[in-house]
Structure 1
């Protein structure tokens, strides 16, 4: 039925009959009450036109069209949803004049004054108000309807018209009936909705995700069991939250690594205690609870690895290896190319939603990429693929590799609280990222710790297993390791601690002595207007400079290359972070290096304890050595 052809009589008759099918006992009668013996009548006799006109005259205004049309079919209504037991007809609608306290509480939500001017339609309810606002109307003269229950601790729910409210209550009736009676509640409406759910499943696999999502959203409002789980998958991949919104899918053991893993990631991210997890998994079959707890443990320890069967699963493994060293764009391209080969592991499985719980691959799935993923035919659907969306790291929609990021973006990265933050990094030639802890920290026992994002506390995995959070008492800051474009790797620290510009020492020479190759070290403290660059090879510093404000100190046995010469980038005529940006851009070209922006700002990378470049002075009671150089004394007496 469209807006022009909506048939109130047909709609209300169907609602009454379906309600009676659910609530009538085997003898054909309803339980006691005023409806007893009238199984197919939620409504009342029509209100004559003269009675409706008299009501309008008494109220002093014309009624909104849909409410007026409703009264002409049924002069009131019983059981409008689960909490409104009777709606007003012509004799019972009245202005709601007792809304002072409510108005004060919700006035900031744009509803100030509505409570004193609204038409109240609830006659009997479970503390639920149903109001029509005469000043919130559309071009057709429809008044917005509001439903408010104080026990919900939520703002009033708005509906565009009385008709929209009634249609929502009809869906609520279906939803509650389905929850109570499951598949036993079957009629023409549920069969129609279930057919739409199946069509939506095929649409989703064929890449028509928006059409599928609209159909599933409506079916979920009707409480159709399959719709809720499928709708939840589409929403999650588009970046929309909703704890527990997978319907019955978690009960399927084949989906432990999919929807259960996502629920576990939600739980860890929210910081809720394990009692809430127990309540969530308590509904699962007993045999699944232990497995769900194991999934939660792996997610919490960041050892969960998303897996999938067939060629797509092989692509997942390749993408994870790319992402773990910062190759997030390459990893996404790997996944995207393999998506047509993805296959569902259960009947209502629509997409690889479990990727969201993978500590390395989950961050790749931005809402934009999730939307693109859902637009790619998969699961055997043979239809054209959509045009790829822009890469997260590429400008102007170009799908560029990580090397295009360069280094200059570090000078333009948004900062917390409007204050630019210090950072440092080491670029090491000819050393794989997993070997960085040994060569940078000079510790043969050093190893990479689990990947973390810059928003998460760093963790260390001790020999006994489990995870230990670094609490700030550690003697080293945390470096994040990755690939800076072959043959270079990087160790990057944001907000390095214990920085003292007067005690600063570059690690470049020492690290290059351990590797034999070239090493580049950069330390930037924007608030102190401090910029350091040093390049070493074979254990010797080749060239270096430190700019502090407009003053520049140079060291090393070679001249600084012209493109990097600080005289051209730092000085009285320079302002802000311009010099920093220029040197970083030139450095990227000079050595062919890049730092992956998305991986460092949004993704997860392996970490390790990175020694301070400016060790603090000795504390009380700590031994120290003072050395002084004295001029040689002449052997002849003065």
Structure 2
């Protein structure tokens, strides 16, 4: 077993010093100490002797941690550690902090009565820590003698008032110094007017790493690519953040993804603006100032495009397009997603991905589609990984295996609790041999025979309530989403229907089944309120063939019910009516060969319409209320 070689402090500090010296503009006014350091190309001081280090340890009563000790042997202190600590302590200046900053008292004020020992221990770092910052921009650097690793290293904690965050922790003094070197690089990476171009051995090595990571990402090696890009990003290398953000966005990571350095490039804006704008629209509440901040440096044409795209995204009218054969696949995928076949839509996109052409050398994958109201819901973390693992953009590599579809098939998934445990009642209509757009003519009257544009069920309900001016206690008009339910079937589905009233219920199956076959299912076996119930009715050529309703603990039936659907097979065998829901739904799916697309219904956007009432008109003597809004 080989022993790890000790860290080469001298080479590291010499390289840092030279980079710092070369980054300074000629003729700039600076202190005598900094000018001497620039000419000497050395930010440090003479090395500390073993005697000086031992004297420090005797004064403090503790042996110093290994990496700080080795650092002192090379330089007894350090200038310009990162961008905000101008002088770091050596043997003469290192001393116990003893809450000189008052931070312990300040943080204690934020502790509540339930604060545990760990939280109080973290506050006490400002009392027990060894202070290393001598001169700084209100930045404190402390070694913690109580946070010690197995190798003897003390953790370093830093805090700055202007960062508005919790103290940062580093595993060791070495980890802290390496991060300060990265901070120095990130602050110099984009020189302002008058500063020399920031080019050195480190930047050349990192830029080569970025280029290799770009090619690796296009070959499908996104995990290795993002690791390299993140390292280069820490040093502020141009391109690294913009490239890495493309990978992160497809992994479903939307926070702090801004495509920095690329989104304001007119070549890439058509692909990168839409996802940036969509994330902004989801959290901005009409305050668009942050969008302009993330587009700083953009010209007026690009800003106009951004705001036009923002209005489209907010209005649900944004439509992703792409050139060539991949663009043709996008249109086919949108049509599939529009009617609920999200798995088919995803496979269509993936099958065409080898034909995708990037907009420029720094374009890693198609991205604009995630803002499309129909295509965006296709994205799931496992699908993002599949796309990123596929070779594209002219690069060769091994294609990944397809991910498992998000739709389980059948109907039994309706018996499973949804994430919010809200889908305890639902109803749907299956119609054979007709297209989804034909369903309103069979299930609705008048103006309601036109489909609404695709939207989530929540959006559809909100819109309906916003425009509805009359509410009746007798009508039961269903707001239903429509789509395809497998070969030869279309569906209309409502996930949160009104209460079931067996006395007034009128099945829409006969009207829906004119000239064909229709199936109606209404389940409330897990309903929060009232007795559990289940209804099934089947019609052919406009006439009901058979039906049954389970309610109030009994079954009412009519017609010649097939054995597979006979309610006696399900009800009565179990005291818990909810236990029969899954086998009942499996039987319905098996009898008719139809299914409902879970992902499209739960997470996607579908066309909707409002049906005619599922209840009969009131009879003489039956009272009801109607509320009309002005």
TM-score, normalised on structure 1? 0.87
> Residues 581 and 90 (structure 1 numbering): CA distance in 2 closer, same or farther, change over 3 Å?
same
Shift of 1:205: 0.6
Residue in 1 that maps onto 2:535: 532
Match of 2:139 in 1: 128
- The CA deviation at 1:572 is 6.2
Equivalent-residue separation in structure 2 for 1:199 and 1:477 (angstroms): 56
Residue in structure 1 matching 2:305, options 291, 294, 299: 291
Matched residue, 1:630: none
d(CA) in 1 for partners of 2:95, 2:502? 75
Partner Cα separation in structure 1 for residue 517 and residue 149 of structure 2: 70
Residue 211 of structure 2 corresponds to which residue in structure 1?
198
Residue-by-residue CA offset, 1:129-162 (whole Å, 9 max, x unaligned): 2222233333322222222223323222222221
Q: Is contact 2:426-2:495 (8 Å) kept?
A: yes
Corresponding residue of 2:272: 259
1:153 corresponds to which residue? 164
Which whole-Å CA distance do the structure 2 matches of 1:110 and 1:598 have between them? Answer: 43
CA distance 1:613–1:621, shift in 2 (3 Å): closer
The two structures, once aligned, show a CA RMSD in angstroms of 2.6
Q: Does 1:341 align with 2:341?
A: no
Q: Is the 8 A contact 1:406 1:594 kept in 2?
A: yes
C-alpha distance in 2 between matches for 1:119 and 1:438: 78
Contact 1:498 1:614 in 2 (8 A): no
After superposition, the Cα gap between the structure-2 partners of 1:495 and 1:287, relative to the gap in structure 1 and judged at 3 Å, is same
How far apart are residue 244 of structure 1 and its match? Answer: 4.7
Distance 1:419 1:596, change over 3 A: closer
Describe how 1:428-507 pairs up with structure 2 within 5 A.
Answer: 428-443=431-446, 446-454=449-457, 456=459, 458=461, 470=466, 476-497=477-498, 500-507=501-508
* Aligned equivalents of 1:547, 1:587: Cα separation in 2: 15
Q: Which runs of 5+ in 1 are unaligned?
A: 395-404, 461-467, 624-638
C-alpha contact 2:131 2:142 (8 A) present in aligned 1: yes
Alignment of 1:88 with 2:89, yes or no, is yes
Task: Provide the rounded CA distance (Å) in 1 between the counterparts of 2:12 and 2:571.
Answer: 76
2:474 is matched with none
Task: Give me the whole-angstrom Cα distance separating, in 2, the residues matched to 1:488 and 1:328.
Answer: 16
Kept in 2, the 8 Å contact 1:324–1:605? The answer is yes
User: In the superposition, relative to structure 1, how do residues 452 and 410 fare at CA in structure 2: closer, same or farther (>3 Å)?
Assistant: same
Are the structure 2 counterparts of residues 134 and 615 from structure 1 closer, same or farther at C-alpha, using a change threshold of 3 Å? farther
| Partners of 2:377 and 2:603 within 8 A in 1 | yes
Which piece of structure 1 moves more, 96-105 or 319-328? 96-105
Give the drift of 1:496. 1.9
Partner of 1:249: 262
- 2:424 is aligned with 1:411: no
Distance in 1, Cα, partners of 2:494 & 2:626: 30
Change (3 A) 1:52 1:482: same
Call closer, same or farther: CA 1:410–1:235 in 2, change over 3 Å: same
Q: Which deviates the most, 195-204 or 473-482?
A: 473-482
Kept in 2: contact 1:438–1:444 (CA 8 A): no
- d(CA) in 1 for partners of 2:268, 2:254: 19
**Kindly tell me: are residues 253 and 94 of structure 1, through their superposed partners in 2, closer, same or farther at Cα, counting changes over 3 Å?**
same
Give the drift of 1:109: 10
Question: Aligned pair in 2 of structure 1 residues 88, 188: CA closer, same or farther (>3 Å)?
Answer: same
Is the aligned partner of 1:312 residue 2:326? yes
Cα deviation, residue 15, structure 1: 1.3
1:636 aligned residue: none
Instruction: Call closer, same or farther: CA 1:236–1:517 in 2, change over 3 Å.
Output: same
Q: Which secondary structure does the structure 1 equivalent of 2:63 belong to? A: coil
Are 1:428 and 1:520, in contact at CA under 8 Å, matched by a contact in 2?
yes
2:110 alignment counterpart: 105
Q: 1:92 to 1:111 in 2, by over 3 A?
A: farther
Is the 8 Å Cα contact of residues 78 and 87 (structure 1) preserved in structure 2? yes
Instruction: Name the counterpart of 2:548.
Output: 545
Contact persistence 1:312–1:341 (CA under 8 A): yes
For each residue in 1:82-131, what CA deviation from the matched residue of structure 2 results, as whole angstroms up to 9, or x when unmatched? Answer: 22222222222233332243255376694532323332222222222222
Change in 2 beyond 3 A, CA 1:477/1:160:
farther
For 1:34 and 1:458, the matched residues in 2 are separated by: 70
* 375 and 483 in structure 1: CA distance in 2 versus 1, 3 angstrom threshold: same
Residues 502 and 132 from structure 1, CA distance in 2 versus in 1: closer, same or farther, beyond 3 angstroms? farther
Q: Which has the higher contact order (CA 8 A, sep 6+)?
A: 2
Corresponding residue for 1:277?
291
Match of 1:364 among 378, 383, 391: 378
Asked if the contact 2:153–2:171 (Cα under 8 Å) also holds between the matched residues in 1, the reply is yes
Please state whether the residue corresponding to 1:57 is helix, strand or coil.
helix
The whole-number CA distance in structure 2 between the counterparts of 1:597 and 1:344 is 33
> How far does residue 505 in structure 1 lie from its aligned partner after superposition?
2.5
Aligned length: 598
- Report the 3-state secondary structure (helix = DSSP H, G, I; strand = E; otherwise coil) of the residue aligned with 2:144: strand
Q: Tell me if structure 1 keeps the 8 A contact 2:549–2:556.
A: yes
Indicate the residue corresponding to 2:26 in structure 1. Answer: 26
**Higher mean C-alpha displacement, 226-235 vs 69-78:** 69-78
1:383 and 1:551, CA in 2 relative to 1: closer, same or farther beyond 3 A? same
d(CA) in 1 for partners of 2:83, 2:131: 18
Q: 1:621 to 1:72 in 2, by over 3 A?
A: closer
Determine the C-alpha separation between the residues in 1 that align with 2:168 and 2:616: 59
Which segment drifts farther, 209-218 or 477-486?
477-486
Deviations 1:496-517 (A, max 9, x none): 246545533321122224xx21
For 2:35, what is the secondary structure of its paired residue?
coil
Q: Deviations over 1:515-574 (max 9, x none)?
A: x2111111122223121111112222221111124211223xx22211111121122634
Label 1:331 to 1:480 Cα distance change in 2 as closer, same or farther (>3 A). Answer: same
- Matching residue of 2:182: 171
Asked if the contact 1:137–1:144 (Cα under 8 Å) also holds between the matched residues in 2, the reply is yes
CA distance in 2, matches of 1:171, 1:457: 50
Note if contact 1:322-1:330 (Cα within 8 Å) is conserved in structure 2: yes
- State the distance in 1 between where 2:35 and 2:116 align: 45
Q: Does 1:14 align with 2:15?
A: yes
Answer whether contact 1:172 1:221 (CA < 8 A) is retained: yes
Partner-residue secondary structure (3-state), 1:172: helix
- 8 Å Cα contact 2:448/2:611 also seen in 1: no
Aligned partners of 1:224 and 1:236: how far apart in 2? 20
User: Which segment drifts farther, 418-427 or 226-235?
Assistant: 418-427
Residue aligned with 1:349, SS:
coil
* Cα distance in structure 2, aligned partners of 1:434 and 1:257: 32
